[in-house]
A and B are shown apart, each in its own frame.
Chain A
């Protein structure tokens, strides 16, 4: 069947899908916490691109455009759902009990469990955190995608990471072993740089 009209500056549709469908799916999966919804969101994003993407003149903005569109679609889809009231109580960055052992714990889980952990965090922190861990964007780009001021993104990233580390400390999700148990089995050499 016919292909998308060739544009000298923009990648063709198949190339675009090949490049971005995985990170977009990961973002969608983290937002929706559901494989089917994540697939739908990803697919819908590319179809919107097929309709409107040709109006984008700056090829460097393709990635941001796709992620922003996916996020807006997600927000549109959940418009009728009850929104969780934002609870942004800044408590400062809490010093973790042991960051290096948390890193070991991260290594002991798989991707799905990482998403389970992220899913336990409030959306206002989860959304920037997911974009941050996808390693696709700077915090300034994350601010643009989520439509928030840079300062808000920075504080939410900090707070979100702090909450995430707390989750590790509590040993969730279920498959994670308790931090205390890990520390006993794996004494930390704090002088070692990683």
Chain B
């Protein structure tokens, strides 16, 4: 090992004593250093520079809301996206003769689900169909662009994005934390999503849909509770806005308490 090679190895050394002990190259470079004062001096200065620069890197802080946004996005997507397949490891070891049966069963299940969705949509009112769409959006949404805000800021942000805001905020909403909001369009309707923080890891999603130019608007003065694709939802209208509050199945009671 020459001095250049030793410097290269020492330059990549990350102050992990275990690595030094296990890695013969690092060990050799250290032995070389113990006999070369110049190399030792160089290494100490190198370490000093590295330490100072690493400290600067550590001082970089993510935006305050990043952690909350990650948990919020996870929570929002969790219902559909993150189901753990308990049988996934077993399926690879299934006998080959089971595969045709499994595929056939999948087809039957898919056909049944598709027919059920089509039937639901045909049977439902336009408003119910809209809510079903929102529920589907909520199940697959990743919500990476939540803008941090509180109740006071939220109106400004949504108005700036030409998105609907709550005309009157329910009294109990005054005390809840907001994780963020975003806006999008669906079938020519502007839609706002306000993510309400229930606790550290749980969130409610409030959608506000602008139905001002819709022929299908029907007033729902008081919150009504209904299950859409297994998601409990409270819906009510406020002027020409349709408000949809979505929670997970185990949060039904909290939903009623909040409204």
Q: Are B45 and A103 in contact (CB under 8 A)?
A: yes
Interface residues on A, range: 35 or more
Q: Are B4 and A1 in contact (CB under 8 A)?
A: no
Interface status of B188 (Cβ within 8 A of chain A): no
Instruction: Tell me the bound Cα distance from A194 to B46 in angstroms.
Output: 10
Given the known interface contacts A106-B49, A138-B19, the answer about A17 and B67 at a Cβ–Cβ threshold of 8 Å is yes
Q: Are A138 and B14 in contact (CB under 8 A)?
A: yes
A-B contact count (CB 8 A): 172
Name which residue of chain A comes closest to B42, CB basis. A99
Q: Are A1 and B57 in contact (CB under 8 A)?
A: no
Which residues in window 1-44 of A have CB below 8 A to B? 1-5, 13-14, 17-18, 21-22, 25-26, 29-30, 35, 38-40, 42-44
Residues of chain B lying within 8 A (CB to CB) of residue A137 = 14
Residues of chain A lying within 8 A (CB to CB) of residue B79 = 1-2
Q: Are A132 and B60 in contact (CB under 8 A)?
A: no
Contact of A155 among B8, B48, B82, B203 (CB under 8 A): B8
Interface status of A102 (Cβ within 8 A of chain B): yes
Interface status of B119 (Cβ within 8 A of chain A): no
- Pick out which of these stretches binds chain A: B70-78, B94-102, B153-161, B209-217: B70-78
Q: Are B57 and A40 in contact (CB under 8 A)?
A: no
Given the known interface contacts A1-B202, A93-B11, A133-B50, the answer about A110 and B70 at a Cβ–Cβ threshold of 8 Å is no
Q: Are B70 and A46 in contact (CB under 8 A)?
A: yes
Given the known interface contacts A40-B144, A114-B57, the answer about A139 and B67 at a Cβ–Cβ threshold of 8 Å is no
Q: Are B251 and A1 in contact (CB under 8 A)?
A: yes
Interface status of A87 (Cβ within 8 A of chain B): no
Name which residue of chain B comes closest to A132, CB basis. B14
Residues of chain A lying within 8 A (CB to CB) of residue B15 = 135
Residues of chain B lying within 8 A (CB to CB) of residue A70 = none
Name which residue of chain B comes closest to A6, CB basis. B84
Instruction: Tell me the bound Cα distance from A14 to B11 in angstroms.
Output: 36
Interface status of B16 (Cβ within 8 A of chain A): yes
Q: Are B77 and A14 in contact (CB under 8 A)?
A: no
Distance in angstroms from B217 CB to nearest chain A CB is 30
Interface status of B142 (Cβ within 8 A of chain A): yes
Q: Are B49 and A50 in contact (CB under 8 A)?
A: no
Given the known interface contacts A102-B49, A115-B60, the answer about A47 and B77 at a Cβ–Cβ threshold of 8 Å is yes
Q: Are A106 and B81 in contact (CB under 8 A)?
A: no
Q: Are A158 and B8 in contact (CB under 8 A)?
A: yes
Which residues in window 128-168 of B have CB below 8 A to A? 142, 144-145
Which residues in window 1-16 of B have CB below 8 A to A? 4, 7-9, 11-16
Interface status of A92 (Cβ within 8 A of chain B): yes
Residues of chain A lying within 8 A (CB to CB) of residue B169 = none
Residues of chain B lying within 8 A (CB to CB) of residue A54 = 84
Most buried by A among B62, B201, B202, B247: B62
Q: Are A100 and B62 in contact (CB under 8 A)?
A: no
Q: Are A39 and B63 in contact (CB under 8 A)?
A: yes
Q: Are B49 and A103 in contact (CB under 8 A)?
A: yes
Interface status of A157 (Cβ within 8 A of chain B): yes
Residues of chain B lying within 8 A (CB to CB) of residue A139 = 12-14
Interface status of A165 (Cβ within 8 A of chain B): yes
Contact of A158 among B12, B57, B63, B142 (CB under 8 A): B12
Residues of chain B lying within 8 A (CB to CB) of residue A69 = none
Most buried by A among B48, B70, B203: B70
B residues near A (Cβ < 8 Å) are 4, 7-9, 11-16, 19, 41-42, 44-50, 52-54, 56-63, 66-67, 69-71, 73-79, 81-82, 84, 88, 142, 144-145, 200-203, 247-248, 250-251
Q: A26-B62, A102-B49 are in contact. List 14 more A-B contacts (CB 8 A).
A: A13-B71, A13-B201, A14-B71, A18-B67, A21-B67, A30-B57, A39-B144, A42-B70, A106-B52, A113-B56, A139-B13, A140-B19, A165-B49, A190-B41
